[in-house]
Chains A and B, each alone.
Chain A
Amino acid sequence: MDYTIFMVMIGSSLVGCVSGALGSFAVLRKQSLLGDAISHAALPGIALAFLITMAKSPMIFMAGAMIAGWIGTMLVMAIVRHTVIKEDAALGMILSVFFGFGLVLLTLIQRLPTANKSGLTHYLFGSAATLLLEDVKAMCLMGVVTLAGLFLFWKEFKLFTFDKDYATALGFPVKRIELILTLLTVTAIVMGLQTVGVILMSAMIIAPAAAARQWTDRLWLMVVLSAVFGAVSGLSGALLSGFVAQLPTGPTIVLIMSAIVLISLLFAPNRGMIWEWFQRRQETKLLRQKLMEKHKS
């Protein structure tokens, strides 16, 4: 098999899997759009990391992205806590201002005489085809760390997500739990930036979890399903874009994920719309039959 396609397949399914798993918590905590803000906020971090080190290493870029994404998240939280401004506006501001600042830095970098700078714009729209072994290695490391963190703090995250007050009352360090969960989410997002790009990364966080939510009410099942949906979309998106010419990977993955969401919204047992409609029709039929029988007797 083609080496490039192989790398892209591994990278994309990894990104789908990890962002799917972490996305479950974001969706359940009604913080889906934080992912959008984090991924946009990462851009100036990547640019600054390059400007400071002048090196093109995925690890350094990801470190810069993580720091910037982290600062953005903290700013959103601080603005919401201390001012009249609501979360939606805070997210929108961080997203657009950080991204704008990132653009300024990117244009500055493009004016630099160094030749070694082309890789940076890949983070804007994602460019899975340029994934190298080095990148995939870095992504693997981040993925393992993220999933291990999820596994390690499973009980705490679960309690925190569903009943924050109870967690506080039990004496759990709620603030620290939130910090770790946010850190893991930032890691998951930064991991996927090179593959799907800043703009579509939020869909990677939201879509698999939104689909998984329709099939189950159990957290562990939702997280597993979400990770599977993410990985399957990543894998099939990478394959499709590998064999069809001029088909960008990121958008293809997002469309496959969205198709899974649509199917889930319509057909999932209990929660699906078609399912509900069918159920209701059965009930009406049954009721009518009973009434008829009563009428006869």
Chain B
Amino acid sequence: MTPQLEIIITACIVSTACVIPGVFLILRRVALMSDAISHAILMGIVIMFFIVKDLHSPLLMIGAVATGILTVLLTEWIIQSKRLKEDAAIGLVFPVFFSIGVILISRYAGNIHLDQDAVLLGEIAFAPFNRFLFLGRDLGPVAMWSMGAILVMNLGLLLLFYKELKLATFDKALAATVGFSPVLLYYGLMTTVSITAVGAFDAVGSILVVALMITPPSTAYLLTDRLSRMIVLSVLIGIASAVSGYVMASLLDASIAGSIATMTGAAFLIALFFSPKQGLLTTYLRSKHQKTDFASKMLLVQLMVHEDQQEDFETTVTHMVHHMDWSIKFSKKIARYSVEKGYITRNQDQLFLTPLGREVARAAIVH
């Protein structure tokens, strides 16, 4: 495998692993816990590093995951004490841990390869340098295997607890009644988020973890409201962002993590405007079309009412301007629309209902 391909595959694995817990984070409205956790783990990594003195020890991960869970526990404790609201509680705890981590690094870490830049920004371009050797054989980058393992874990947990997660996400009370502990599931989800964030931090940096956990699921949420479809769509959007982000980064010679985050944002922007159900542009066009359609029906009814009368004036475009209080431009547009639809025929200024138009007008009155 070429290093480029290895980076792309690692990026896709990271994105899929992040997206799965991300879906539940945004549905439970705790998206920002991913931000808090991914920053707070810095302290756990640093403290564990000082204890074991080895940057590649698995104990670093355990320390980091423990810090992640501690962040959640402390935040929940402050919320439950009712002294501060949820947003303030989230925003208070993680800066403390992050600050401790930064101070420890700058005071004691000296020249070793452990700095806040690496944690925060990550550099997936370096992933291929760190090889996974097994029985003397080169099996690819370590990051690919470690994130692969986390992805398998996330997928396994999702399949195992899909029903429980779904119920606890959408109906907490029912879940508790049926006997699933929502608290246990919540902490399970947060532990998964911590493990994923820790695994991804040195590959892609904590900011990309946040971008991948929140943005593709939000994009998918604009496109569907079925949970299963939302998960599949999020995974696809995540992978598309990872690949296009890598391409963008290599074209511009810029940060890969930053480019992938930018691409998730671009995907969201596209969905925000063009989503078939909720897109800003689609809803605007739909409401505009509805307005035209409604006006056209009003015109048809007006024409039908006056069909038997011999006054020509009532059935002219000019009359519409007076009677309906429409502007000339709008009247012409509605007349054109009605002709296109086959509701009326037009002879100079005179309008005549077609049989189809008469039917539509009758239906409009009945409804």
Contact = CB atoms under 8 A, between A and B. Distances in A.
Interface of A: 27, 30-33, 35-36, 40, 79, 82-86, 88-93, 95-108, 111, 124-125, 199-200, 202-203, 205-207, 209-210, 213-214, 246-248, 250-252, 254-255, 258, 261, 265, 271, 273
B262 A97 contact: yes
A113 to B, nearest CB: 14
A75 to B, nearest CB: 9
B220 to A, nearest CB: 11
B92 A258 contact: yes
Contacts, number: 201
B207 to A, nearest CB: 5
A40 B253 CA distance: 22
A254 B261 contact: no
Nearest to B39: A199
Contact of B102 (A82, A83, A98, A125): A125
B190 to A, nearest CB: 14
Contact of B222 (A83, A88, A273): A83
A34 B117 CA distance: 23
B107 interface: yes
Contact of A246 (B81, B100, B106, B254): B106
A93 B207 contact: no
B31 A255 contact: no
Contact of B103 (A27, A199, A203, A251): A251
A85 B103 CA distance: 36
B260 interface: yes
Contact of B91 (A36, A103, A246, A248): A36
A205 B91 CA distance: 9
Contacts of B215: 92-93, 96-97
Contacts of B207: 40, 96, 99-100, 103
Interface in B251-295: 252-255, 257-262, 264-265, 268, 272, 278, 280
B35 A247 contact: no
A100 B265 contact: yes
B90 interface: yes
B26 A88 contact: yes
A261 B78 CA distance: 11
Contact of B272 (A83, A89, A92, A271): A83
Interface in B160-207: 207
20 contacts: A27-B84, A27-B88, A83-B272, A84-B222, A85-B221, A86-B31, A89-B26, A89-B217, A90-B218, A93-B215, A93-B268, A97-B211, A99-B258, A100-B211, A101-B258, A106-B255, A107-B253, A108-B254, A199-B39, A247-B106
B66 interface: no
B156 interface: no
A295 B213 CA distance: 64
Contacts of B30: 88
Given A32-B88, A258-B92, A82 B280 contact: yes
In terms of DSSP, what is the predominant structure of the interface of chain B? helix
A275 to B, nearest CB: 11
Residue from the set A96, A101, A251, A265 with the largest chain B CB neighbour count within 10 Å: A96
A239 B87 CA distance: 30
B91, B116, B254: most-surrounded residue (chain A CB, <10 A): B91
A85 B26 contact: yes
Contacts of B333: none
Contacts of A108: 252-254
Contact of A255 (B32, B78, B103, B259): B103
B99 interface: yes
B85 interface: yes
B61 to A, nearest CB: 22
Nearest to B212: A96
Interface centre among B88, B249, B252, by most chain A C-beta atoms within 10 angstroms, is: B88
A254 B258 contact: no
A83 B278 contact: yes
Contacts of B248: 104
A84 B278 CA distance: 8
B29 interface: yes
B107 A88 contact: no
A96 B210 contact: yes
A214 B83 contact: yes
A184 B343 CA distance: 56
Given A33-B32, A199-B39, A251-B99, A103 B261 contact: yes
Contact of B106 (A91, A209, A248): A248
Q: Which of A102, A108, A203, A205 has the most CB of B within 10 A?
A: A203
Nearest to B267: A97
A203 B259 CA distance: 27
B342 interface: no
Contact of B262 (A36, A101, A111): A101
A83 B26 CA distance: 13
B87 A101 contact: no
B91 A89 contact: no
Interface string B207-235: 11011011101100110010000000000
A111 B84 CA distance: 45
A203 B90 CA distance: 10
B211 A96 contact: yes
Contacts of A203: 91-92, 95-96, 99
B34 interface: yes
A104 B221 contact: no
A296 B280 CA distance: 76
A254 B99 contact: yes
B254 A104 contact: yes
A248 B99 CA distance: 9
Pairs of residues from A and B, 9 with the lowest C-beta to C-beta distance, nearest first: A100-B261, A103-B258, A97-B265, A251-B99, A203-B95, A96-B211, A92-B214, A104-B258, A96-B210
B49 interface: no
A265 B120 contact: no
A34 to B, nearest CB: 9
Contacts of B217: 89
Contacts of A83: 222, 272, 278
